[in-house]
Structure 1
Amino acid sequence: MPIESLRLLLVEDNDLDAMFITRVFQRSTVIQAQIERASSLGEALEMIDETEFDVVLLDLGLPDSDGLQSIRSIREKVTSIPIVVQTGDDRVETGFAAIEAGAQDFLSKNDLKDHLLTRLTIHAILRQRQMLELQEASLLDSMTGIANRRRCDIEFRRRLEMLSQGGTPFCVAIVDIDNFKLINDSGGHDLGDEVICQVGNELRDRCRPGDLVARIGGEEFAIIFADTTVDELGKLQQRHRRAIEALDFQREGISVTVSIGGTCVLSSDNKRSAFRRADSALYAAKKGGRNQCKIETVVRPAINVHIA
């Protein structure tokens, strides 16, 4: 998508340089830029908190920050904004170090020409957009459009880190489509794919804000229930199970159900140990007759408690 206008944060403590850069964008016939200026890193971080910018044009010589630390500080605040560095240091090594620190591009102040500055700024925005699109695509399941196993792994690690730092509890569950081989045998792989897509999207639509549904294999899905205790888990699992049971595939003889096994995650867990308990609970649900939910707690006698 072409860029015709943008909101630019200029982080520059030198008044003459700031005036020159502002005039460059004012003279541009390619793009309209709304420029806001910060004279220090601290001021820039406050403005980023309050305003959504399309790009940051950053001077590395700020009064309250030392060189590349300015880039890192902005990146810690927000990852999506492209940063173009301007520096009085002509060394190529400085520019490459800026990119390694998180900038999209760099430009020596000795090369601040109209067409070059505007072109670098536009290219930085386009590259950042492309990178974010690729990152997002790498975290989605190509068939269903919901999160994939990699996205699930990332979210689990994030939640576990929060929990280990005294954060809120969370739970995980594995959802498996019952008798999926019979569905494939009766209607072929097209029907099987349709069932997987509808189940995945229904599970996602039933989630609360903060929860995550991911397809982790064939006809199997994982759910991460954010801010959830084991006492709340049963009701949430049943809500998902009933939603799938109520799906209408508008095909004669097609009835789809799922079995769900879940567990509450401990700070001492890793992904393997937590999902092993969830998988054990799923096995108990399958063995118990399918179309049901089970929970396995850390204390083993609770494993086969049926959720009504």
Structure 2
Amino acid sequence: MNNELIKVLLLEDNQVDLPLVHEMLSESRREKFVLKYVDRLQHALDLLIKEQFDVMLLDLQLPDAYGLSALIGVQTLAPNLPIVVRSEVNDEQLAIDAVHSGAQDYIVRGEESSPLLIKALRYAIERKRSEQSLAYLAHYDPLTDLPNRELFRERLNRAQERTKRSGYMVALMFLDLDHFKDINDTLGHDAGDQLLKFAAQRLKHCVRTEDTIARLGGDEFTIILEQIEHKKDAANIAQKIVDEMSQSFLLNDKDVFVTMSIGIAIYKEGDQTSEELIKHADMALYAAKAKGRSNYQFFEAKMNTLITQRMAMIKNLKLALERNEFILHYQPQVDLSINQLVGVEALLRWQHPEMGLLQPNNFIPLLEETGLIIPVGEWVLHTACQQCRLWREAGFPRVRISVNLSAKQFRQLQLANTVKKTLDETGMDPEHLHLEVTESLLLSNVAETISILNELNDLGVHISLDDFGTGYSSLNYLHRYPFASLKIDQSFVKSITRNSKSAAIISAIISLAHNLGLKVVAEGVEYHEQLPALLNMKCDEAQGYIFGVPLSSATCETMFKNIFNQNSKFYVRKP
């Protein structure tokens, strides 16, 4: 506190003490004390409304207040003001009671010296600051400066109590960032923390100052909206948040798109406990994610059933691997220049014992959330390689097989050793294994990413960049990675004949990729009119429903027999 200007409010009914206190404080060489005097509690309260003080010297025997009531009165109005009780009574129990009631120190009038008084004021200010710092840490999230879980619950309870008196509704929102784990996995935790800060700032812009935004942990946020008259008021704010969050975030000098899902529960006077309200908002959030994310949903009673089903799905997923319920289907990949089958992509399916054959979008997100994607991913790699060996032993000409690597698999230690072990155990020729990685992997820890890709490349496997064009990568730095091919995202291919911009983008990607020595695969080819356009652009390969839906291994063998009995020519499905 060197050279600090400290404003002191002296609340004392004996004006004779004013010059004495002033003289003692003037002896300080470290601080400059500015003293203001009042002789009534009410005068002090009136002054505290108008002015800010750094510390108070408080007498407990006043004309309009006696004992600890004066201390409590000041604290009620100015809870952050440090207080030193200055009493003419040397009473140890009174001193203890005063400190327990919120005073920072207690001194006896007439026994204090200048150093003692100055030290007491310094201590009171420093102690109050420490108390406030501890209180902040106990109630606020240090990363985003938002209220934490504990303060959120306190404010929710107060909001419910106020609703009983006001007649308005309270809307409780549960929010989280969609696929936030992907950001941590690909860009790193520092970028994830930065994203949380940005998200917190955007949320503040979407609500009123009197509303409460809290961070519960991870990427989970809550908002308490008070004085809501109509359900649509909460819906309007939720939509504003969804729209705001759909704008790109700048992380590591790159535009990254991360959306937000929102669940909303409405509280009317006395209809739910705080625990029930929280549970309902959480259920509504799950419903928003189930509907494709980047949307909001209000709680409905039927959601209890949906959550129960989701938990059952997770339980069954944990057992699916050991029960051999996962299967692979294989989608043809065709060389467009010679109309010949050159490979298949292995695609995961779940043969659920009750729900039948499930597509990846029904369970892959749950595999990611639970971490099961790692053992299941290893199973996919091993099963695909083993199937390729079985086809070779059956006498079919060799075709390559493509396997997708998730971000979590890619960031595993010893990934190259896992792949090598799989190749050795299955007898798979590494030249016929293509490993597909997504663009988002290129965003984080470039040196580590290049090292992992080089280790895989050294094994002799081919590495393909999947879903190219979805907003992350640049062809300008693809030469730094050992890719053999890239796959154009199907969103571009879908509109190649209807949208000139999509066609121009595809043409540019193919041209630049060829200059880098990369082959180009078009995904999602479904219509005959797309083929001439891709051929004119000299696209190397394609896959999609026009060539065939993903097939079981047995159906694949039938396809192989038909194709290879016809000089390996591949005939597209008739329109």
- In 2, Cα distance between equivalents of 1:228 and 1:32: 50
Q: Is the 8 A contact 1:183 1:192 kept in 2?
A: yes
The letter of the residue matching 1:118 is: I
Q: 1:204-243, aligned counterparts within 5 Å? A: 204-229=204-229, 230-243=231-244
Q: In the TM superposition, what is the alpha-carbon distance from 1:184 to its structure 2 partner?
A: 4.3
The letter of the residue matching 1:134 is: L
Per-residue CA shift, 1:106-150, capped at 9, x if unaligned? Answer: 101131211111111121111111211221133232444433212
Going from structure 1 to structure 2, the CA distance change for 1:184 and 1:8 (only over 3 Å counts) comes to: closer
Q: State the aligned residue count.
A: 301
- 3-state DSSP of counterpart to 1:264: strand
- 3-state DSSP of counterpart to 1:110: coil
Q: Does 1:292 align with 2:295?
A: yes
- In 1, Cα distance between equivalents of 2:32 and 2:52: 16
- 3-state DSSP of counterpart to 1:174: strand
Give the equivalent residue in structure 1 for 2:266: 264
Q: Is the 8 A contact 2:60 2:86 kept in 1?
A: yes
- In 2, Cα distance between equivalents of 1:189 and 1:21: 54
- 3-state DSSP of counterpart to 2:227: coil
Structure 1 stretch 98-107 or stretch 201-210: which is displaced more? 201-210
- 3-state DSSP of counterpart to 2:34: strand
Q: 1:168-207, aligned counterparts within 5 Å? A: 169-207=169-207
**Structure 1: tracts of 5 or more residues without a match:** 304-308
- In 1, Cα distance between equivalents of 2:58 and 2:86: 6
- 3-state DSSP of counterpart to 1:227: strand
- In 1, Cα distance between equivalents of 2:221 and 2:86: 47
- 3-state DSSP of counterpart to 2:166: coil
Q: Is the 8 A contact 1:261 1:282 kept in 2?
A: yes
Normalised to the residue count of structure 2, the TM-score between the two structures is: 0.49
- In 2, Cα distance between equivalents of 1:121 and 1:167: 46
2:277 to 254, 274, 278: 274
The letter of the residue matching 2:279 is: R
The letter of the residue matching 2:50 is: E
Give the equivalent residue in structure 2 for 1:45: 45
Q: 1:236-255, aligned counterparts within 5 Å? A: 236-249=237-250, 254-255=256-257
- 3-state DSSP of counterpart to 2:56: strand
Q: 1:44-123, aligned counterparts within 5 Å? A: 44-123=44-123
Q: Is the 8 A contact 1:146 1:204 kept in 2?
A: no
Going from structure 1 to structure 2, the CA distance change for 1:12 and 1:167 (only over 3 Å counts) comes to: farther
Give the equivalent residue in structure 1 for 2:326: none
Q: Is the 8 A contact 2:87 2:107 kept in 1?
A: yes
- In 2, Cα distance between equivalents of 1:98 and 1:167: 40
Q: In the TM superposition, what is the alpha-carbon distance from 1:252 to its structure 2 partner?
A: 7.0
Q: In the TM superposition, what is the alpha-carbon distance from 1:169 to its structure 2 partner?
A: 4.0
Q: Is the 8 A contact 1:146 1:201 kept in 2?
A: no
Per-residue CA shift, 1:42-62, capped at 9, x if unaligned? Answer: 211111112111111000111
Going from structure 1 to structure 2, the CA distance change for 1:14 and 1:254 (only over 3 Å counts) comes to: closer
- 3-state DSSP of counterpart to 1:111: coil
Going from structure 1 to structure 2, the CA distance change for 1:70 and 1:141 (only over 3 Å counts) comes to: same
The letter of the residue matching 2:42 is: G
Q: Is the 8 A contact 2:167 2:269 kept in 1?
A: no
Give the equivalent residue in structure 2 for 1:131: 131
Q: In the TM superposition, what is the alpha-carbon distance from 1:190 to its structure 2 partner?
A: 4.8
- 3-state DSSP of counterpart to 1:36: strand
- 3-state DSSP of counterpart to 2:89: coil
- In 1, Cα distance between equivalents of 2:47 and 2:31: 23
Per-residue CA shift, 1:224-269, capped at 9, x if unaligned? Answer: 2233333310111111111111123467794311110112323324
Going from structure 1 to structure 2, the CA distance change for 1:28 and 1:144 (only over 3 Å counts) comes to: closer
Give the equivalent residue in structure 2 for 1:283: 286
The letter of the residue matching 1:133 is: S
Q: Is the 8 A contact 1:169 1:226 kept in 2?
A: yes
Structure with greater Cα Rg: 2
- In 1, Cα distance between equivalents of 2:204 and 2:163: 23
- In 2, Cα distance between equivalents of 1:78 and 1:37: 17
- In 2, Cα distance between equivalents of 1:15 and 1:186: 69
The letter of the residue matching 1:101 is: S
Give the equivalent residue in structure 2 for 1:306: none
Per-residue CA shift, 1:67-101, capped at 9, x if unaligned? Answer: 01111111111210011001111121111111111
Going from structure 1 to structure 2, the CA distance change for 1:57 and 1:193 (only over 3 Å counts) comes to: closer
Q: In the TM superposition, what is the alpha-carbon distance from 1:177 to its structure 2 partner?
A: 1.7
Structure of greater relative contact order (alpha carbons < 8 Å, 6+ residues apart): 1
**Structure 2: tracts of 5 or more residues without a match:** 305-575
Structure 1 stretch 1-10 or stretch 127-136: which is displaced more? 1-10
- In 2, Cα distance between equivalents of 1:167 and 1:25: 53
The letter of the residue matching 2:204 is: R
Structure 1 stretch 14-23 or stretch 237-246: which is displaced more? 14-23
The letter of the residue matching 1:256 is: V
Structure 1 stretch 186-195 or stretch 1-10: which is displaced more? 186-195
- What is the percentage of aligned positions where both structures have the same residue? 29
Going from structure 1 to structure 2, the CA distance change for 1:191 and 1:120 (only over 3 Å counts) comes to: closer
Q: Is the 8 A contact 1:261 1:283 kept in 2?
A: yes
Q: Is the 8 A contact 2:195 2:249 kept in 1?
A: no
- 3-state DSSP of counterpart to 2:147: coil
- In 2, Cα distance between equivalents of 1:134 and 1:284: 38
What is the CA RMSD across the aligned residues, in angstroms?
Answer: 2.6
- 3-state DSSP of counterpart to 1:15: coil
Q: In the TM superposition, what is the alpha-carbon distance from 1:18 to its structure 2 partner?
A: 2.7
Structure 1 stretch 117-126 or stretch 140-149: which is displaced more? 140-149
